């Protein structure tokens, strides 16, 4: 995945969808501008995160809260060269959402277009898109709490 032009004045959020075999990573600005997304092997995740931290002013990590979250959180605290704030986000239904988002980001071509969307399977892992959705869920939560505090 190519890096987008980046203005380092704005902090960004790292989305992390941890898994046993593969992990999804995404980097998004607070303005919801997507700068990076990729699926990496689990054994390469820490090194990839370190590389991303050198390229982007990552302010925090948003991580899915399901199956492997506890082990990954502990591993990240132990193995990252500098500590990173980690916020767990509810990741229920993100795989289904990510499948729909995949087809929005990469519209189907040829005969695949004729299949109903519910029957289409993305041709590659979509863990990176799950990581994007985790960041968006976190940002939505921030926006909702800011709006509700204004109503008081």
CATH number at residue 16: 3.30.420.140
Task: Give the pTM.
Answer: 0.87
Decide if 135 is inside a domain: yes
**3-state secondary structure (DSSP) of residue 24:** strand
Instruction: Measure the CA–CA gap between 16 and 45, rounded to whole angstroms.
Output: 9
Q: Report the number of distinct structural domains present in the chain.
A: 1
Low-confidence ranges of the chain (pLDDT < 50): 1-2
Instruction: Measure the CA–CA gap between 152 and 68, rounded to whole angstroms.
Output: 38
Decide if 147 is inside a domain: no
Instruction: State what percent of residues in the chain have pLDDT above 70.
Output: 89
**CA-based angle 109:111:112, to the nearest 5?**
65
Looking at residue 1, its pLDDT comes to 47
Decide if 42 is inside a domain: yes
């Amino acid at each position: 995945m190519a890096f987008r032009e980046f203005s380092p004045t704005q902090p960004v959020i790292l989305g992390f969808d941890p898994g046993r075999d593969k992990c999804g990573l995404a980097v998004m600005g607070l303005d919801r501008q997507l700068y990076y997304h990729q699926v990496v092997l689990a054994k390469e995740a820490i090194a990839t995160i370190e590389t991303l931290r050198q390229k982007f002013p990552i302010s925090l990590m948003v991580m899915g809260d399901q199956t492997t979250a506890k082990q990954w959180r502990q591993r990240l605290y132990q193995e990252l060269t500098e500590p990173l704030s980690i916020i767990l986000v509810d990741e229920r239904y993100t795989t289904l959402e990510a499948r729909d988002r995949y087809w929005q980001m990469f519209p189907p071509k040829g005969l695949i277009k004729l299949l109903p969307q519910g029957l289409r399977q993305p041709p590659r892992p979509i863990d990176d898109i799950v990581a994007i959705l985790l960041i968006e869920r976190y940002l939505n939560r921030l926006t909702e709490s800011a709006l509700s505090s204004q109503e008081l």
